[in-house]
Amino acid sequence: MNQYNDQIETKLIHRQISDGELKTGAVNVPIYLSSTFHQSSFDEFGPFDYSRSGNPTRQVLEQKIAELERGTKGFAFSSGMAAISSAFMLLSTGDHVLITEDVYGGTYRFITNILTKFGIEHTFVDMTDLNAIEQAIRPNTKVIYMETPSNPCLRITDIETVVKLSKANNCLTFLDNTFMTPFFQNPLELGVDVVLHSATKFLSGHSDILAGLAVTKDEELGERLGYIQNSFGAILGVQDSYQLIQGIKTLGIRLKQSSDSAQLIANYLNNHPFVEEVFYPGLPFHPGRDIHQKQARGFGAVLSFRLPNREAAKAFVEHVRIPVFAVSLGAVESILSYPTTMSHAAMPKEERERRGITDGLLRLSVGLEHVDDLIRDLDQALQKARRIHTPAF
Positions annotated as catalytic residues are 52, 104, 176, 201
Residue 244 contacts residue 201 (beta carbons within 8 Å): no
Q: How far is the CB of 80 from ligand PLP (least distance, A)?
A: 2
Phi, psi of 254 (to 5 degrees): -65, -50
> Shortest distance, CB of residue 296 to ligand PLP, whole angstroms?
15
Task: Give the Cα-Cα-Cα angle 343, 348, 351 (nearest 5 degrees).
Answer: 90
Q: Do 166 and 172 contact (CB within 8 A), yes or no?
A: yes
For 369, half-sphere exposure in the C-beta direction (CA atoms, 13 angstrom radius) is 18
Asked if 54 is part of the footprint of ligand PLP (rule: CB under 6 A), the reply reads no
SS3 100: strand
Q: CB of 263: closest distance to ligand PLP in angstroms?
A: 20
157 interacts with ligand PLP by CB under 6 A = no
Residue with smaller CB distance to ligand PLP, 51 or 151? 151
Using CA of residue 364, residue 354, residue 166, residue 295, what is the dihedral sign?
Answer: positive
CB closer to ligand PLP, 240 vs 359: 240
Please select the residue that binds ligand PLP; options are 57, 59, 86, 151, rule is CB under 6 A: 151
CA distances from 179 to 31, 60, 198 (A): 28, 23, 9
> Please, how many CA atoms are within 13 Å of residue 391, restricted to the half-sphere of its CB?
0
Pick 178 or 259: Cβ nearer ligand PLP: 178
Site for ligand PLP in 212-241 (CB under 6 A): 212
If one asks whether residue 334 binds ligand PLP (CB under 6 A), the answer comes out as no
Q: Does 178 bind ligand PLP (CB under 6 A)?
A: yes
Show the site string, 282-311: x = touches ligand PLP by CB under 6 A, - = not. Answer: ------------------------------
Please give the Cα distance from 268 to 278 (Å, whole number): 10
Judged by CB under 6 A, which stretch of 74-82, 128-136, 162-170, 231-239 contacts ligand PLP? 74-82
Q: How far is the CB of 189 from ligand PLP (least distance, A)?
A: 20
Please answer whether residues 362 and 337 qualify as being in contact, where contact means their C-beta atoms are separated by less than 8 angstroms. yes
Q: In sequence order, what are the residues at sequence separation of 6 or more whose Cβ sits closer than 8 angstroms to the Cβ of residue 122?
A: 96, 97, 98, 99, 111, 112, 115, 116
Binding flag, residue 177, ligand PLP (CB under 6 A): no
Please, which residues bridge with residue 97 across strands? 122, 143
In whole angstroms, what separates CA 262 from the centre of its chain?
Answer: 17
Site for ligand PLP (CB under 6 A): which residue of 97, 137, 194, 210? 210
Measured from the CB of residue 173, what is the shortest distance to ligand PLP in angstroms?
A: 16
Number of residues that bind ligand PLP (CB under 6 A): 14
- Residue whose CB is nearest to ligand PLP in the complex, by number: 80
Residue whose CB is less far from ligand PLP, 210 or 368: 210
Q: Which among 32-40, 58-66, 194-202, 233-241 is the span making contact with ligand PLP, rule CB under 6 A?
A: 194-202
| Residue among 79 and 258 whose Cβ is closer to ligand PLP | 79
Residue type at 120?
A: I
By CB under 6 A, is residue 104 in contact with ligand PLP? yes
Among 15, 31, 72, 106, interactor with ligand PLP by CB under 6 A: 106
Determine if 358 is a binding residue for ligand PLP (CB under 6 A).
Answer: no
| Strands (DSSP E) found in 108-206 | 121-125, 141-147, 172-176, 194-198
Element of type H or E holding 73: strand 73-77
Q: Is 328 left (phi over 0), alpha (psi -120 to 50) or beta?
A: left
79 part of the interface to ligand PLP, by CB under 6 A = yes
Alpha-carbon span 138 to 311, nearest angstrom: 44
Asked if 201 interacts with ligand PLP (CB under 6 A), we say yes
> Which residue number, 201 or 217, has a Cβ lying nearer to ligand PLP?
201
Task: Answer yes or no whether residue 100 interacts with ligand PLP by CB under 6 A.
Answer: no
Query: Where along the sequence are the contacts to ligand PLP (CB under 6 A)?
Result: 79-81, 104, 106, 147, 151, 176, 178, 198, 200-201, 210, 212
